[in-house]
Chain A
Amino acid sequence: MKTNFDDPRLTAHAVNEPLSAADRAAIEALLAESPEVQMFAEEMRGLGADLRAQYNEERVRQAADGRVPNVIAFVPEPRSKVEPWLKSLARIAAAVIAVCAVFGAGYMGWKATQPAELGDGVVIAMKATMEAPVAFFEEAQDAPLTRATGTGTYTLTQEAAYFSESDAPLGYNAQQSEAYTRLTDNSFLAVAQNPLSTFSADVDTASYANARRFLAAGKLPPKDAVRIEEFVNYFPFRYAPPLPDANTPFAVQLESAAAPWNTAHRLVRVGVKAREIRAELRGASNLVFLIDVSGSMFQENRLPLVKKSLRLLTEQLDARDRVAIVVYAGKAGLVLPPTTGDRKDAILGALDRLEAGGSTNGGDGIKLAYRIATENFINEGINRVILCTDGDFNVGVTSEGELTRLVEEQAKSKVFLSVLGFGMGNYKDTTCQKLADRGNGNSAYIDTLREARKVLVEQMAGTLVTVAKDVKFQVEFNPARVSSYRLIGYEKRLLKKEDFNDDKVDAGEIGAGHTVTALYECVPVGVAEPGTAAVDPLKYQAPAAAPLNSAEMLTVKIRWKAPEGEVSERADFPLADDGRAFSAATPDFKFATAVAAFAMTLRESPERGNATIAAIIEWALEGRGDDPGGYRAEFIELARKAQPLLEARAGKS
């Protein structure tokens, strides 16, 4: 029997086209009859699959290199009360304008904007010149962030939005979509009832970088997004490092002076400086980049910034080091097996090829990354998973509790975790920080390439090399000198006094060269106390013995574990107050005070005393010093930016 390759139904069947029952039966009979026909059908099926795959590849590649531009972004906005007909008219007009502007932009030779650079709420006044529906166009030229154009504002995205990295614009409702846990400021505690103050070391700095982008966009950050200790610890202070033969991995510097917002109170600064490790002396590293490539990472300040940031880190690695890359979206996968740091082309190539798409299953990615890190564990080296995410885990292990438990479980492998938060839309601060806490790690918020350079280049050793883990502070106050005290910030870091000696209780890590700064506001004995929560005298207890008459004001006790140790060590550092005025304090002290006061003011903390933004700027200027890296100058700029906003808010209330 002659085989008939010319039946179009064969092809239809092969490319999964639905056929009528009769047709399908006929084709299946034909296929059953002849192996040649089967082979032919198989080839047709293969062709169809290859065509689909190649078209898809082409689409993805065009999306990636932006050669075929996709330039219109839509920003949703709250529904306005404009008449419906007007809405749709305005909407269409805006669409026409946007599209015209796009083509105008094309003619003017601007580089086509990649879709990856499209951000929600990235809105720029259109500059293209062309003939367009004039009335609407002129109006739209100065279009602010959200125009009353009904249910959607059509906006043009172009590179100008990204010319200034530090001025990343904000989505209109970024604030609503970000999650911050409610925070209440520590209040004054009476020394008689609470002679011990215990907290975990914290060198996370995400809150400052996050607040900075709000201020850069001309908005005050949400109060709960401001963490005082993260503000203060953002800045490197020049505390002396421990001597090379010291038996502690850090040195402690205590200083006291009058609190500038209430000169009757004393301010005590606890400054800790971890041992410095020169880049060339650091151990070999085993790094696993765990990268969120879900669709929410699509925007310019997310995945593309992740790539640039990790590129900076990769450039500092050498043959000692190994890098693997794990990505996760709906599924997790290894895109680069462990590769030595001298093969930069391979690493950078793999980074470049990453694409956003899919939903986020962080759980599987974390498991895979830890597995690879433990399989390649380097004894005495740096073993670290570096998680880059916007914190939006929406598939698989999604509950925050489950995710943190997973990380806690994995952290037993002695692999450390760094969480780098990216993205301004749905950056989930709490998730990132919790993960870092549980995973023996640190977290940083990366909003600009400059911030990436700070975290991954200037402070690379600190980010990668942990010199002490589970670092806990316990301050014992002398009731003969101090009647009450208040820890400024660290609200989320407080520990019970018993936790200090309990090695099972997890606490913060300190990286090489890092500084940790904590401030206490103390009320000296004899000064009228602010309303401390008074407790009635105890009926069955003997009244406390008269306090030891020591000149010491307080003692700072620090506990820590070696990076791979299980048992903690302890060191004590006493302080006697020399009674100096704020004006006589060191620049570092003044600057730290200014930063803390700024954070308190942003939070509208009830404890901020008479600090005003103008005074804060003064203190910061006095404490500026020689400012390597320019971070302090940037702070002063930021405070100036915040000044009118704060004053406007104060005027309103």
Chain B
Amino acid sequence: MPPEDLTRMTEALAASPANLISMPHWGTDPAVWLRAMLVRYERPLLSFAARIVGDHEAARDIVQDVFVRLDKAGPWQFESADPRKWLFTVCRNRALDRCRREKRLSFVDDETLANQPCAGISPSEAISREEDRGTLLRLVEQLPPRQQELIQLKFQNDLSYREIADITGLSETNVGFLLHTALKFLRERRAAFGR
């Protein structure tokens, strides 16, 4: 594939993830496709993984592993399906695996999890400790971890409730409920801060 096609493709992808799905020519060159996926999804996956494992370096390991797996899977797997779901599912599973291995994760029911406050500096805060982080994103960090995860999947990565449900193993109704709760919280907090 000539370089201009490659850059054009990467840029189309960066503009909208939807372009990836409708792009016919990645089928001809998996390396180009992989590069495009990296450019678009490496960062969102990093912050997604970091939020789960609470460690930036560990998150990089996980994301690296996700991309090696993605390469192994090849683009043909995603001809009709959206690769985002695959990426976030695999990333989440790898991250949870790692937590389990390191016994950092104790299994709790959703109720407890949903109400558990965020302890200390959140991993995503560690990633983007910039002062100028959008005010809303800082409010997001005050949400319970599960809701943060859903907000990230929905608004950072534009996944549908159905896809989020598949990734997280929650029911679609539950996803809707949690997002509703999360947004209501954000709305109140933002109002309290006088915007």
**A418→B44 CA distance, assembly (Å):** 40
* Contact between A68 and B155, CB atoms less than 8 A apart: no
Interface residues of chain B: helix, strand, loop or mixed (majority): helix
On chain A, the residues within 8 Å of B3 by CB distance are 76, 120-121, 171, 173-174, 177, 425-426
Of the four ranges (under 10, 10 to 19, 20 to 34, 35 or more), the interface on chain B belongs to 35 or more
On chain B, the residues within 8 Å of A356 by CB distance are 11
* Contact between A47 and B71, CB atoms less than 8 A apart: no
> How many cross-chain pairs have Cβ atoms below 8 Å apart between A and B?
172
Q: Interface segment, A161-169, A281-289, A294-302, A345-353?
A: A294-302
Interface string of A102-114 (1 = CB under 8 A from B): 0100100000000
Closest to B176 in A: A8
Given A51-B151, A72-B38: A151 in contact with B31 (beta carbons within 8 A): yes
**A54→B151 CA distance, assembly (Å):** 12
**A92→B73 CA distance, assembly (Å):** 11
* Contact between A58 and B133, CB atoms less than 8 A apart: yes
Q: Is B39 an interface residue (CB 8 A)?
A: yes
Q: Is A564 an interface residue (CB 8 A)?
A: no
On chain A, the residues within 8 Å of B133 by CB distance are 54, 58
* Contact between B154 and A103, CB atoms less than 8 A apart: no
Give B119 Cβ to nearest chain A Cβ, in Å.
23
On chain A, the residues within 8 Å of B184 by CB distance are 5, 11
* Contact between B186 and A11, CB atoms less than 8 A apart: no
Closest to A55 in B: B156
Closest to A103 in B: B60
Given A72-B38, A74-B35: A17 in contact with B161 (beta carbons within 8 A): yes
Interface string of B169-195 (1 = CB under 8 A from A): 000010011011001101100100000
On chain A, the residues within 8 Å of B158 by CB distance are 52
Q: Is A406 an interface residue (CB 8 A)?
A: no
* Contact between B32 and A425, CB atoms less than 8 A apart: no
Closest to A118 in B: B39
**A91→B38 CA distance, assembly (Å):** 16
* Contact between B72 and A15, CB atoms less than 8 A apart: no
Q: Is B114 an interface residue (CB 8 A)?
A: no
**A343→B60 CA distance, assembly (Å):** 42
* Contact between A70 and B42, CB atoms less than 8 A apart: yes
* Contact between A92 and B161, CB atoms less than 8 A apart: no
* Contact between B31 and A298, CB atoms less than 8 A apart: no
* Contact between A68 and B8, CB atoms less than 8 A apart: no
Closest to A150 in B: B31
Closest to B190 in A: A47
Closest to B30 in A: A151
**A9→B15 CA distance, assembly (Å):** 29
Q: Is A18 an interface residue (CB 8 A)?
A: yes
Considering the complex, which residues of chain A in the window 392-443 have a beta carbon less than 8 Å from any beta carbon of chain B?
392, 394, 425-426
Give B136 Cβ to nearest chain A Cβ, in Å.
5
**A75→B29 CA distance, assembly (Å):** 11
* Contact between A68 and B127, CB atoms less than 8 A apart: yes
User: Using a CB–CB distance below 8 Å, which chain B residues touch chain A?
Assistant: 1-4, 6-8, 10-12, 14-15, 29-32, 34-35, 38-39, 42-44, 46-47, 60-61, 64, 67-68, 71-72, 127-128, 130, 133-134, 136-137, 140, 151-152, 154-156, 158, 160-161, 173, 176-177, 179-180, 183-184, 186-187, 190
A–B pairs, 13, beta carbons within 8 Å: A11-B180, A51-B140, A58-B137, A70-B43, A74-B38, A91-B31, A92-B72, A95-B68, A153-B31, A295-B7, A296-B4, A359-B8, A359-B12
User: Using a CB–CB distance below 8 Å, which chain A residues touch chain B?
Assistant: 5-12, 15, 17-18, 43-44, 47-48, 50-55, 57-59, 61-63, 67-68, 70, 72-76, 88, 91-92, 95-96, 99, 103, 106, 115, 120-121, 151-154, 171, 173-174, 176-177, 294-296, 298, 356-359, 392, 394, 425-426
Supplied contacts A51-B140, A54-B136, A296-B7, 11 more A-B pairs, CB within 8 Å:
A8-B180, A47-B190, A48-B183, A58-B133, A59-B43, A70-B38, A74-B31, A76-B3, A295-B7, A358-B11, A358-B15
